[in-house]
Amino acid sequence: MKKIALIALAAASLGAVAAPAAAQDYRHDGYRHDSGRHDRSAWDYRHDWERGFNINAMQNQLDARIDRGIRNGRLTRQEAGMMRSQFRDIARLEATYRRNGLTRYERNELERRLVAFETRLDRQLRDGQYARR
Is 92 domain-assigned? yes
> pTM for this structure?
0.61
Verify that 64 and 32 share a domain, yes or no. Answer: no
Nearest to 117 by CA among 51, 55, 49: 55
**Is residue 50 in some structural domain?**
no
Say what the pLDDT of residue 7 is.
Answer: 60
DSSP assignment letter at 44: S
Cα–Cα distance between 77 and 124 in angstroms, integer?
A: 12
pLDDT digits 0-9 by tens, 78-97: 999 999 999 999 999 999 99
Residues pairing with 52 in the sheet: 48
Per-residue pLDDT reduced to its tens digit, 26-76: 334 444 444 444 444 344 444 554 556 789 999 999 999 999 999 999 999
What is the C-alpha separation between 3 and 9, in angstroms, rounded? 10
Instruction: Give the residue numbers spanning the domain of 96.
Output: 55-125
How high is the pLDDT of residue 30?
A: 42
